[in-house]
């Protein structure tokens, strides 16, 4: 789930930035420090959006020429939730599963969670093939999955586990076929006049 969150942080502004606007300097420093980071309760910080108001009056500490300012700022964050339905693109296929790009993060769909069929991995073509259903999953396929495991680390590491074995999940093409089968609708070709 994407959220806009307001945070507060003490920003160290070095003397080399004193000539620039303090708000702009704080924004630049916060962006370098927070963009792309992961925090357990916040999630993946995609970007610092804005510094809210003017930074508080700075303080100087003995032995450091920098000033320290209490700053309120907003970020755009992605915090994955268990059982959340997500869509993404398969970016890598390996023997044990498919890595799926979900915006700021990648998730792993283990081979056992791709579909309700015996799946074999074809290394030469980097694809998965269903034994009975003949379903094929390859790199660049758009998929829909459910988050079944979330492990939020710190820094730049976080792991998401996905499943596509439930109804109306999997490769988008499979979902369309499943909906058509459920509703009894068949694809018809448009007739030319």
The pLDDT value recorded for residue 186 is 58
| Separation CA 193–CA 148 (nearest Å) | 50
Q: What is the pLDDT of residues 120-139, one digit of tens each?
A: 999 888 999 999 999 999 99
- For 12-68, write each residue's pLDDT tens digit: 999 888 888 889 999 999 999 999 888 888 888 999 999 998 887 888 888 888 999
Mean pLDDT, the chain, as a whole number? 88
Domains recognised in the chain with CATH numbers:
2-78 (3.30.1490.120), 85-183 (2.40.50.140)
How confident is residue 189, by pLDDT bands cut at 50, 70 and 90?
A: low
Cα separations in angstroms, 12 against 7, 148, 153, 156, 182: 16, 40, 25, 22, 60
**CA dist list (Å): 112 to 2, 43, 117:** 28, 27, 9
Q: What is the pLDDT of residue 190?
A: 54
* Sign of the alpha-carbon torsion through 6, 12, 16, 22: positive
Report pLDDT for 20.
81
Residue 155 above 90 pLDDT? no
- Say if residue 88's pLDDT is above 90: yes
Nearest to 127 by CA among 135, 116, 138: 138
Reply yes or no on whether the pLDDT at 174 is more than 80.
yes
**133 touches 171 (CB < 8 A):** no
Between 31-45, 95-109, 153-167, the lowest mean confidence (pLDDT) is in: 153-167
């Amino acid at each position: 789930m994407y959220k806009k969150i307001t945070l507060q942080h003490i920003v160290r502004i070095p003397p080399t930035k004193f000539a620039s606007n303090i708000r702009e300097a704080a924004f630049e420093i916060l962006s370098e420090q927070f963009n792309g980071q992961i925090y357990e309760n916040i999630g993946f910080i995609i970007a610092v959006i804005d510094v809210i108001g003017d930074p508080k009056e700075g303080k100087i500490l003995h032995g450091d020429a920098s000033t320290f300012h209490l700053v309120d700022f907003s970020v755009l964050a992605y915090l994955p939730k268990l059982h959340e339905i997500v869509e993404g693109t398969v970016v890598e296929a390996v023997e044990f599963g498919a890595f799926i790009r979900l915006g700021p993060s990648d998730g792993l769909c283990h081979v056992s969670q791709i579909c309700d069929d015996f799946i074999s991995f074809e290394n030469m073509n980097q694809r998965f093939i269903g034994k009975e259903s003949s379903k094929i999953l390859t790199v660049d396929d758009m998929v829909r999955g459910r988050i079944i495991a979330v492990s939020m680390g710190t820094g730049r590491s976080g792991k998401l586990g996905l499943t596509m074995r439930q109804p109306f999940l999997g490769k988008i093409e499979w979902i369309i076929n499943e909906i058509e089968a459920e509703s009894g609708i068949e694809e018809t070709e448009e007739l030319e006049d």
